[in-house]
Amino acid sequence: VAITASCVRSSKGEPINGILNVRDITREREEEERRSTFISVISHELQTPIAIIKGYASTLARSDAHFDRATQHSRLVAIEEEADRLNKLVENLLYASRIQANGLQMDISSLDLASLIHKVVRRIQARRQDVNITASIPSNLPTVVADRERIEEVLLNLLDNAVKYSPRQQAVSISAHATGEEVIVSVSDSGMGISLRDQEQIFERFHRVGDPMSQATPGAGLGLYICRAIVEAHGGHIWVESTLRQGSTFSFSLPREERAQLPMVVF
Ligand code: ADP
C-alpha cells in the first residue's frame, strides 16, 4: 500500500486536521513489474536471434571464407530457424496486443478436432524427428464449433512447449475425450514440471518460470496467455496439472457442437 499524510492548517498556520490516505497499489506495482519484465524479455528474445543471424551471415559472406557444403547448409538452416523465431515473436506480440486492445475476432464453423490434432502432430513431427509424439484420439470424437486457425495455434503452442521444456528424446502425448458437455484435449510431457506457485501465473502475459533451464529455453511468456484468450473466447477453459521434475499435463475444453452458443465477437 502507499500511505500519504497531510495536515490542514488554520489561517494562522496551526494544525487543525490531519488526512491519512491509504491506497492499494498492488495493481500498479504488478503493471510496472510486467512492463519491466516485458522490456527485458523482449530485448533478450530479439538480441539472441539477431546475434546468431548476424554472426552466421557475416562469416558466410566473407570473401575469403571457404566452407564445405554441409557447414554452409547447417549455417543457412540456423539462420532460417532464427528468422522463424523472430517472426513468431512478432506474431505473438501482435496477437497479444490485439487481445488487449479489442478482443479476438473469430471465424467460427463446425470443426473436426480429431483430424486437426493429427494434422498438427504430423506438422511438428516433420520438423522434429527427434521427438516422439503419441496421439490417442477416439475416432468418434464429437465435433466442436470453433475457429480452426486459432485452435491450431493452441495445439501448436501446447505441443511446442511440451517438447521445448522436456529433455531430448522424451515422449510427449496428446489425448482427447468427450464428456456430456465438452471435448477435452490434454497434452502431457515428462519434462521439468512447474511448481504450484508458477502454475498460478504461467497464463499471465510475460510470465516465465525463473529456473535456469526454463530461462535458457527461448520464449517470451506469451504462448499460454494467447492460448487462454483463445480457449476462453470459445467458452472453454484451460488448465495445468504438474509435478516439479516429473512433468506436466496441459488441458483445454471446448463446448461440443450441439452445446455451443455461436459467438460473433468474443472475449
Ligand atoms: P514461452 O514462450 O516462454 O514458452 P508460454 O506462455 O508458452 O511462453 O509459457 C510460459 C512459461 O511456462 C514458460 O516460459 C515456461 O517457464 C512454463 N512452461 C510452459 N509450458 C511448460 C511445460 N510443458 N513444462 C514446463 N514448463 C512450461
Q: What's the CA-to-centroid distance between 202 and ligand 1, angstroms?
A: 7
Angle between helices 69-102 and 26-61 (to 10 degrees): 160
Predicted complex: ipTM over 0.90: yes
CA 250 to ligand 1: nearest atom: 23
Q: Whose CA is nearest to atom 2 of ligand 1?
A: 219
Prediction pTM value: 0.84
pLDDT at 265: 46
Asked whether 162 lines ligand 1 (CB < 6 A), one says: yes
Q: What's the CA-to-centroid distance between 208 and ligand 1, angstroms?
A: 6
Probe residue for ligand 1, chosen from 37, 88, 166, 208 as the CB with the greatest number of ligand atoms within 8 Å: 208
Asked whether 194 lines ligand 1 (CB < 6 A), one says: yes
Averaged pLDDT, groups of 10, the chain, 267 residues long: 84 84 85 81 89 94 87 93 93 90 87 96 88 93 95 97 88 95 96 95 91 87 96 96 96 88 50
pLDDT at 200: 94
- In eight-state DSSP terms, residue 74 is H
The H-assigned helical ranges of the chain are 26-61, 69-102, 113-127, 148-164, 196-199, 212-216, 223-233
Asked whether 116 lines ligand 1 (CB < 6 A), one says: no
pLDDT at 263: 52
Asked whether 165 lines ligand 1 (CB < 6 A), one says: yes
Tell me the C-alpha distance between 39 and 221, whole Å.
12
The H-assigned helical ranges of 181-252 are 196-199, 212-216, 223-233
